Amino acid sequence: MPLPTSEDVGRILDAATAGGYALPSINVTSSQTLNAALQGFAEAGSDGIVQATVGGAEYWSGAAKDAQAGARGMALLAHELAARCPVGIIIHTDHCPPKNLDGFLRPLLAASLERAGRGEPPLFHSHMFDGSTLPLEENLATASELLAQCVEAGVVLEIEVGVVGGEEDGVGGADVDHSRLYTTTEELLRTAEVLGTGDRGRYLLAATFGNVHGVYKPGHVKLKPSILRDCQDAAVRTFGQSARFYLVFHGGSGSDLSDIHEALDYGVVKMNVDTDMQYAFTRPIADHFFRNYDGVLKVDGEVGNKKAYDPRTYLALAEKAMAARVTEAAAALRATGTSMLRNGMAAHA
């Protein structure tokens, strides 16, 4: 299955909006987690997003500790493997803070512009600029500049207005004032004024409604999805029916299904799921080691069991478990069986 084109990505987002579902967006930090995500999307019959943060991309680069090189390597491998996946796979960079723009996001955008000049698809389908720690006007000014470049490269921009609590790869609002966890209607209207409502280019908006990175016991996180409804309604009243935002749900791991579904009803088309995926991947590895400790370890001078300590043995178990968690996420997001590419609805399918 060919990778989605820029036009396909737009159709996929429009279909999610019309269908009241969202694409699972999975952070991948290795070929194993990438393969697990692809397997899960294929089993669910859902188009999906694989993504890397700046820290995740640096991890991809190994000892080089070069986030840009790691991102390029991750994207090229994803291009190769996703082309063999029976559903549409969108490749994304997540949470680029202002300090990493020049060394990470802008060079990756430049690479996509070069590829476009050769008639090739972009390196990434979408990029996130996380300017949530900046004053609103500074955040939007930078986002406006990036949006123009993304349009030229055939790439979708994601931005964040408001602050997601907790922390992910050094980015987040662990110490932010509690009120900043809830995006205001005024902030969203100002976003539409500066970035447009689709007329200047398609963008994704992570508006916050109490979201917190990480996973917590029930009752710790107080989500207010109705904030998304109020913001969408205000945008429509001010700018017209076509002014609805493509919303993103960050910090979604461990959320109540009722909150997830309410957020979908208000226009969320992308939901990041990371913490739950990390646990799903790690749990079977721990189980394998506990159950086969005498085979994994050369206990009391014995030789152990090669099949037990062959990384392919326990990593295959981890991939299978994570893939199952991806299919669970797709079901929670009402995305099961909705793949635009698999169903022959995209431009080139």
Between the alpha carbon of residue 106 and those of residues 111, 203, 246, 263, the distances in Å are 9, 17, 23, 31
DSSP-based three-state secondary structure for 18 = helix
Give the pLDDT confidence score for residue 166 in this predicted structure.
46
Give the N- to C-terminal CA distance of the chain in Å, as an integer. 8
Helices (H) and strands (E) in the chain, counts: 13, 10
Element housing 89 (H / E): strand 89-96
Between the alpha carbon of residue 77 and those of residues 155, 187, 259, 302, the distances in Å are 19, 38, 35, 39
Give the pLDDT confidence score for residue 246 in this predicted structure.
97
349 residues of the chain, pLDDT tens digit each: 678 888 999 999 999 999 999 999 999 999 999 999 999 999 999 999 999 999 999 999 999 999 999 999 999 999 999 999 999 999 999 999 999 999 999 999 999 999 988 989 999 999 999 998 899 999 999 999 999 999 999 999 999 997 664 455 555 544 555 556 789 999 999 999 999 999 999 999 999 887 765 554 444 557 889 999 999 999 999 999 889 999 999 877 778 899 999 999 999 999 999 999 999 999 999 999 999 999 999 998 899 999 999 999 999 999 999 999 999 999 999 999 999 877 665 433 3
102 tagged catalytic: no
Burial class (CB in 10 A: 0-12, 13-18, 19+), 191: buried
Q: Which pair of tokens denotes residue 300?
A: 């009391």
Handedness of CA 117, 120, 126, 127 (dihedral sign): negative
pTM listed for this prediction: 0.92
Catalytic-labelled residue, pool 8, 14, 66, 94: 94
Do the Cβ atoms of 225 and 195 come closer than 8 Å? no
Q: How far apart are CA 43 and CA 51, in angstroms?
A: 19
Q: How far apart are CA 134 and CA 166, in angstroms?
A: 17
Give the pLDDT confidence score for residue 300 in this predicted structure.
86
Closest listed residue to residue 36, CA positions, set 250, 261, 326: 326
Bridge-based pairing of strands 23-27 and 126-129 is: unpaired
Do the Cβ atoms of 159 and 43 come closer than 8 Å? no
Compute φ and ψ for 19, nearest 5 degrees: -90, -5
The contacts of residue 57 (CB under 8 Å, 6+ apart) are 67, 68, 70, 71, 74, 93, 104
